Amino acid sequence: MIKESDTLCRNFLRINRRTFGALLEMIRDVGGLSGTKNMCLEEIVAGFLYTVAHHKKNRMIGAHFYRSGETVSRQFHACLRAILKLHDVLLKKPIPIPEDCNDDRWKYFKNCLGALDGTMISVTVPSEDRSRYRTRKGNLAMNVLGVCSPEMEFIYVLPGWEGSAHDGRILRDAISRPNGLKVPKGCYYLCDGGYTNGEGFLAPYRGHLYHLREWNNGPHQPQNAEEYFNKKHAQARNVIERCFGLLKGRWAILRSPSWFSLQTHGRIVLACALLHNLVKKYMPPSFDDDELYEEIESDGDDSDGDEEQEEVEYITSINVSDPWTNWRNSLAQSMFNDWRARHRRI
């Protein structure tokens, strides 16, 4: 799996040999996991990656690795705990969009930290809890909040909420936790219309065209500031949708209900998000990436920790306010005026 070629390693484990070596070193040094008398660390990690990449049962993994089901299960959970300890190393530290940003998708959103949204992960639920985990479409799923940077790296992930829970409620829970999502005053994330447009969370205008497919299916041009704002907002916020697509495409265990408990499955979601960031950091995209992603139906800051940091005030609630609404209106009008001026010159 890991020594013959990068192609074979990617086919089996979804990462190349260099990335596997980096992960192995992190798990050993930070995660504190080591090999046993009968299993080396390479085999433990390879077994974990093979399980989440192809979503195989213990007996299938045991037959593939010539191990008992008990050994496979025990080492899977040991590796899962070790990977979760890497969150400080692998989660992206958010960096605001600078004033001199030239990226056409992000240049209007100064001080933006990224985008957020919720995604549904199918789960196996005990019969007494099924009503809480049933989504609007009738599926049994876990609602997972994901926050990512413009570079498509996860900043924060909160799994575990029921599929029936509203996205806004989950976000409020995330920012109220002691170790939850931190949004400094003056910064913000892009979110869709399902969230409240309040300080720290910039939502689109409701009642106007928004989704990219609505803009791409015809020659329609923005007619006012609200429509142009929604178009640029959707183009930038789409980064979180692409993040979720890559995450589920690479790790098959997130595409169908697993045989693990809800708590364990939530931990697996977070571990897969950490592995996603590892891949973004160590494994550049290649032309055959699409072949790695099985069929899916789609609907760093390296600063020194020793430096003295100023005390930052964080947003702890989401409320509609006149100053925030006026700022969004002003931003939308400025964006629309700039676009019209350039359109006239062309």
For the chain, the domains span: 6-85, 94-261+312-322
DSSP secondary structure, 93-115, as one string: PP-PPPTT---TTTTTSTTEEEE
Residue 288 pLDDT exceeds 50: no
Coil, helix or strand at residue 73: helix
> Percentage of the chain with pLDDT > 90?
76
DSSP 230-246: HHHHHHHHHHHHHHHHH
Of 101, 113, 120, 146, the C-alpha closest to 270 is 146
pLDDT for 298 beyond 80? no
Sign of CA dihedral 165, 273, 176, 325: negative
Whether the pLDDT of residue 246 is over 80: the answer is yes
pLDDT number for residue 221: 81
188-190 and 154-162 beta bridge pairing? unpaired
**In the predicted model, is pLDDT for residue 213 greater than 60?**
yes
CA distance 339 to 223: 11
- pLDDT of 168 higher than 60: yes
- 247 backbone dihedrals φ, ψ, rounded to 5°: -60, -50
- End-to-end Cα spacing for the chain: 55
Q: What is the mean pLDDT of residues 75-98?
A: 97
Q: What is residue 289's predicted lDDT score, i.e. its pLDDT?
A: 53
- Note whether 213 and 231 are within 8 A (CB): no
* Top-confidence range, 71-80, 210-219, 312-321: 71-80
CA distances from 300 to 149, 152, 208, 329 (A): 10, 11, 35, 32
Mean pLDDT of the region 270-277: 98
Q: Give the rounded percent of residues in the chain with a pLDDT score beyond 70.
A: 90
Query: 266: burial class by Cβ within 10 Å (0-12, 13-18, 19+)?
Result: buried
| Mean pLDDT over each residue of the chain, to the nearest integer | 89
114: left (phi over 0), alpha (psi -120 to 50) or beta: left
With tokens 């001080």, the residue in question is 111
DSSP H or E run through 66: none
Q: How far apart are CA 340 and CA 346, in angstroms?
A: 10
**pLDDT number for residue 223:** 87
With a CB cutoff of 8 Å and minimum separation 6, the contacts of 291 are none
**Six token digits for residue 83:** 């990977």
Position 97 pLDDT exceeds 50 = yes
CA pair distance 248, 338, nearest whole angstrom: 38
Where does residue 197 fall: left (phi above 0), alpha (psi -120 to 50 degrees), or beta otherwise?
Answer: beta
Please give the biggest Cα pair distance in the chain: 73
